[in-house]
Amino acid sequence: MKAAEIKSLSDEQVVHLELEAERALLTHTLRHRLGRLEDTSVLGKTRKDIARAKTELTARERRTGVNPGSLKGQHAGTFTPQAATTGEAPGGGFLKGILDKPEASE
Q: Which fold has domain 3-74?
A: Helix Hairpins (1.10.287)
What is the spatial distance between Cα 106 and Cα 6, in angstroms, rounded to a whole number?
Answer: 36
3-state secondary structure 34-89: CCCCCCCHHHHHHHHHHHHHHHHHHHHHHHHCCCCCHHHHHHHHHCCCHHHHCCCC
Question: In this predicted structure, what is the pLDDT of residue 105?
Answer: 47
Residue in 58, 72, 88 with CA at minimum distance from that of residue 17: 72
Which pLDDT score, from 0 to 100, does residue 30 have? 93
The whole-model pTM stands at 0.74
Specify the pLDDT at position 106.
42
| From 36-40, 57-61, 95-99, 101-105, the region with the lowest mean pLDDT | 101-105
Q: What pLDDT is recorded for position 69?
A: 87
Segment 28-86, tens digit of pLDDT? 999 999 999 999 999 999 999 999 999 999 999 999 998 998 888 888 888 888 755 45
Q: How far apart are CA 12 and CA 79, in angstroms?
A: 9
State the pLDDT confidence band at 101, using cuts at 50, 70 and 90: low
Residue 21 confidence (pLDDT)? 94
